[in-house]
Copies of this chain bind each other. A is one copy, B any other.
Amino acid sequence: MASFKGQAAYSVDSKGRVAIPAKMRGSLAPSAKSTFTMTRGFERCVFLYPLDAWERMEGEIAGLNMYSKQSRDFVRTILMWADEVTLDAQGRVPLARPLMEFAGITDKALIIGALDHIEIWDPEVFARYLEEQQSDYETLAEKVMGG
């Protein structure tokens, strides 16, 4: 399985393309080829799943109880934003307009590895996200990983 990590600031060109860092491309599973599904992420960003991780996600979604309205709402939201994209010869993906608008991305993007997926943020939106965190990293680690 892929294990994305690291951060990189890239420019989004006039055609709405962003490069995916070579290190992240290198950690793709061969079965994932160059295909991704991008969709709306948690907090104000875009999630980019390689093919294999997305299929796992689809499995989880398919297992939800569709007689619950909350499940339907969740599934509709994640799927209505979803878009399948492939890397071009230069290792870039095109960003769909609705997702760019949702994430507030214009001409710069921050690419962040998040283990099974890649996140694409507008740099300023991300800076604000960091500021808004209640706990610092050390406290967070203690809470999450068990102190």
Contacts and interface: CB of A to CB of B under 8 A. Distances in A.
A131 interface: no
Contacts of A74: 137, 140-141, 143-145
B145 A7 contact: no
Given A5-B79, A80-B6, A115-B58, A73 B138 contact: no
A80 to B, nearest CB: 4
Contact of A6 (B64, B82, B133): B82
A39 B3 CA distance: 14
A31 interface: no
Interface of A: 3-7, 23, 37, 39-40, 42-43, 58, 60-62, 64, 69-84, 96, 98, 112-116, 119, 133, 135, 137-138, 140-141, 143-145
10 contacts: A5-B37, A5-B39, A5-B84, A6-B96, A42-B72, A43-B138, A62-B116, A64-B144, A75-B114, A77-B137
Given A5-B79, A43-B72, A79-B112, 7 more contacts: A5-B82, A70-B140, A73-B140, A74-B143, A74-B144, A77-B140, A80-B112
